[in-house]
Chains A and B, each alone.
Chain A
Amino acid sequence: MKNNSHYLDALLQGNSKDIQILYEKNFPMVKKFILQNKGNHEDAEDIFQKALLQMVVRYQKEKFVIKTSFGAYLFTVCKNLWRRELNKSKKKVTNQEVKELKGEEHNFAMAILEQKRWELFTEKLALLSENCKKILNLFFAKTPYDKIVVEMQYNTETVARQRVFKCKKKLKELITKDKRYNSLFEL
């Protein structure tokens, strides 16, 4: 099996053979995800290309290391780019003029920074205790407190709130201590 940096190098060099391998191995799953989430085949093609290019640009600047399998990483990049696409309308309403002025490359660069922030946040979330991970996942998925109480077998909502508060505090500490955070936080 070829290692992750092999594919990153291959992308950087525009190696046709390896790009085809990446398509064969990963495009069907990405397409399936996008079709299941309000997208069509063209969206899948567009997102997949953007994801590959995002990795090229990022790898050109910093030799980042992929800790999961290459396929799993590529999938999360695609998934996040699609989340970004689906939520764009929300942003357009509030900031249309600014967005139009900034153009394609700005959008592209922002997607990289947002991806990096997502990586930082999820990486730190993974370091928490199983209990904290579970309750925070429920919390971020907007699960109402009464349901969190049932799911986590707490006595009251107050206990659940305190637990969320503590776990979130721990998560924020881990994030802010990481040196990557400074360049990824903005007001």
Chain B
Amino acid sequence: MKLEDDILIEKYLRGTLSKDELSVISKRIKNDDDFKKKVAFEKQLFETLNDDDWSFMEGEEAPEATLYKKIYKSDAVKKVKETIQQENQKYQNRKRTLFKRKFFYMGAAVIALLISLYLFSPKSSYSSEKLYTQYIESTDLPSLVTREQGENVLAKGQAFFEAKAYEKAIPIFKNRLKLNNNATVYLYLGISQMELNRFSESEKTFNSLINSNLLDAPKGKWYKALLYLKMKKIKKSKLLLKEIITTKSYNFQQAQELLGKLP
């Protein structure tokens, strides 16, 4: 075959011939058997070797086709066909069950995860903050006003403290402590620092109280435990709470309750 014919056939198969060219090639196909064969062969190549296409056969003249049909209709093949259908069903059912089971286990795992998140939610930082707020608010602080009547400056400090103006309250408490040790003032100071997230200062203040020989020194431990809770140092907080419980120190009952809520 000449290159010109090859290009012509290619254009014909790709549908890019002009109307006139198409009319010419159609006549040639009709009248020239040799050319007709060439076109058919090219078409088969084009369709077979292009993944998006497929080359069909009519099979009018294929002797093999008759044999295949005969075998296909035979009892033996019919039986195999049934077996394949059954095995397909078995396989698909098994996969569906496996899928359902997998889905069930995945579902169960998700539920378990949600439950554990709910049950052990105190583990999360959010919850330790929440517990801190709950316990710091429920612990009664003695009033500085009643204890030290006439001390206007301290009363002012308490007012700032209650208004959460800790920045203003802190210098007042610090000045007061310069005069002498006072457990309640230590607590007000430590809590103010804790509320402002000045953790190391707060820890120092509570340690000063704990290590003092003041009667209310053990109160420092309870607040220090709350400080650790706020700092998300759960392990340290628990250790301190346990100490409070075993020594039956200040607020040991609340300590027990809080300990139960920690992971």
Contacts and interface: CB of A to CB of B under 8 A. Distances in A.
Q: Do A and B bind each other?
A: yes
Interface of A: 11-14, 16, 19-20, 23-24, 27, 45, 48-49, 52-53, 56-58, 60-61, 80, 83-84, 86-87, 91, 95, 98, 105-106, 108-110, 112-114, 117-118, 121-122, 125, 136-137, 140-142, 161-162, 165, 168-169, 171-172, 183-187
Contact of B49 (A23, A98, A125): A125
Given A16-B83, A20-B91, A136-B49, A108 B77 contact: no
Given A53-B80, A53-B81, A121 B49 contact: yes
Given A20-B91, A125-B49, A140-B50, A185 B44 contact: yes
Contact of B54 (A13, A24, A57, A83): A83
Contact of B80 (A24, A56, A118, A171): A56
B91 A106 contact: no
Contacts of A106: 59, 65, 69
Contacts of B105: none
Interface string B45-68: 110111111111111111111111
B92 interface: yes
Interface stretch (B34-42, B108-116, B129-137, B195-203): B34-42
Could you tell me the dominant secondary structure of chain B's interface residues?
A: helix
Nearest to B64: A183
A112 B71 CA distance: 12
Interface string B75-105: 0110111011111101110000000000000
Contact of A141 (B6, B50, B81): B50
Contacts of A113: 57, 59, 62, 64-65, 68
B120 interface: no
Contact of A53 (B56, B84, B91): B84
Could you tell me the dominant secondary structure of chain A's interface residues?
A: helix
A154 to B, nearest CB: 16
**7 smallest beta-carbon distances between A and B, as pairs:** A109-B68, A14-B83, A140-B49, A87-B54, A23-B91, A19-B87, A109-B65
A87 B209 CA distance: 88
A61 B69 CA distance: 11
Given A113-B64, A141-B51, A142-B14, A105 B72 contact: yes
Given A83-B51, A121-B45, A142-B50, A162 B58 contact: no
A75 B73 CA distance: 25
B112 to A, nearest CB: 29
Contacts of A117: 44, 48, 55, 57
B50 A60 contact: no
A80 to B, nearest CB: 7
A11 B87 CA distance: 12
A19 B51 contact: no
A84 B54 contact: yes
Contacts of B40: 185-187
A140 B14 CA distance: 11
Contacts of B54: 80, 83-84, 86-87, 114
Interface in B1-54: 1, 3, 6-7, 14, 36-37, 40-41, 44-46, 48-54
B243 to A, nearest CB: 61
A98 B69 CA distance: 17
A87 B51 contact: no
B80 A12 contact: yes
B247 to A, nearest CB: 66
A91 B46 CA distance: 16
A57 B65 contact: no
